[in-house]
Amino acid sequence: MHSKTLISALAILLISLLFFTVIPAKAQILNIERSRVDQDTVNYLTGKAGVNFSLFNRNAGKNNPNSYLQLTFNGDLAYISNQHSYLLLNYYNYLLVNYDSEELRNTVASTGYSHFRINFFRRRKLSYEVFTQVQADKARGLELRTLAGGGLRIALLREKDVNVYFGTGLMHEHEEWENPEQENRLVTSDLLKSTNYISTKAKLSDNVSTEGIAYCQVGYDQEAEVFRNRVSGDVSLSFKLTNKLSFRTNFSCTYEDEPIVPVTKFVYAITNGIQLAF
């Protein structure tokens, strides 16, 4: 087997093991690698943005139809200078049911994040990162999560068709959760955490490529005297059908072994779709 193909396969296997054998993990995972640009690109500004709006109703009784309103926004921006890179990643999804009835108004899902990251001396084998993020996932009861930190980014492999990176650092995380067992009460947490990730992009053949990232974040809660561990990941596989048309399948998941409120520990999402390149 060609050495690059072997390394690619090993990288994918490693991420798969992190997903499925170490600890299960979460949906809506931030994949910072998707917005990074090739190492040789300099003074380059790129970005993408999209907005989707849906409005529809479904029958829930002769005179009581359910109405739905959904809004989704995503927007990423990246600037690559000669030495550093700057990433701004944003996502928001809002779903409202029975929005036209005062008595039945109910937000069933509101999720999103905004993430800013700087990679200093990006061309070096050992580079440095700082980042900050704001996130909410009201469908799970997460009213607010803010974090800020920094660390090291190590290039384990950089080839034309495959790269593998490892990152490690520290961050402070603040969380506010709604307790499902106690109405109108927020539970807060402030933890210093170790944050680590391994990521890869690989071109497996002329028509098949993959990318993935796995995170492991660990913090000790002195008040509860427990370690709170979170493992999450995102992996996708893309099949090129024509020069401009591709089929893409994506799996993302998160597992938290000690959530600060009683919620589902393991959440995931599997998506499939067609992509058109212009």
Tell me the C-alpha distance between 34 and 46, whole Å.
Answer: 12
User: Distance (Å, rounded) from C-alpha 60 to C-alpha 164?
Assistant: 51
Query: Model confidence at 25, in pLDDT bands (50, 70, 90)?
Result: very low
Binned at pLDDT 50, 70 and 90, residue 144 comes out as very high
Asked if the model's pLDDT at residue 66 lies above 90, the reply is: no
169 pLDDT above the threshold of 60: yes
pLDDT of residue 87: 92
List, in order, residues 6 or more apart from 268 with CB less than 8 Å away.
24, 25, 26, 27, 251, 252, 253, 254
**CA–CA gap between residue 68 and residue 185 (Å, rounded):** 28
Confidence of residue 61 (pLDDT cuts 50, 70, 90): low
pLDDT surpasses 50 at 1: no
Contact 239, 246 (CB under 8 A): yes
- Where does the pLDDT of residue 105 fall: very low under 50, low under 70, confident under 90, or very high at 90 and above? low
Measured CA to CA, the distance from residue 200 to residue 220 in angstroms comes to 29
Q: What pTM does this model have?
A: 0.76
Q: Where does the pLDDT of residue 17 fall: very low under 50, low under 70, confident under 90, or very high at 90 and above?
A: very low
The separation between the first and the last C-alpha atoms of the chain, rounded to the nearest angstrom, is 34
Q: Is the predicted pLDDT of residue 43 greater than 70, yes or no? A: yes
User: What is the pLDDT confidence band of residue 207, given thresholds at 50, 70 and 90?
Assistant: very high
Residue 2 confidence (pLDDT) = 53
The least confident of 9-13, 15-19, 45-49, 107-111 is: 15-19
Letter for the amino acid at 198? I
Q: What is the pLDDT of residue 107?
A: 61
Q: Tens digits of per-residue pLDDT, 210-233?
A: 999 999 999 999 998 999 999 999
Over range 15-26, report the average pLDDT.
37
- Residue 87 and residue 96 in contact, taking contact as beta carbons nearer than 8 Å: no
Whether the per-residue pLDDT at 268 is higher than 70: the answer is yes
DSSP bridge partners of 73: 51, 92
What average pLDDT does the structure give for the chain?
81
Question: Would the pLDDT of 23 be above 50?
Answer: no
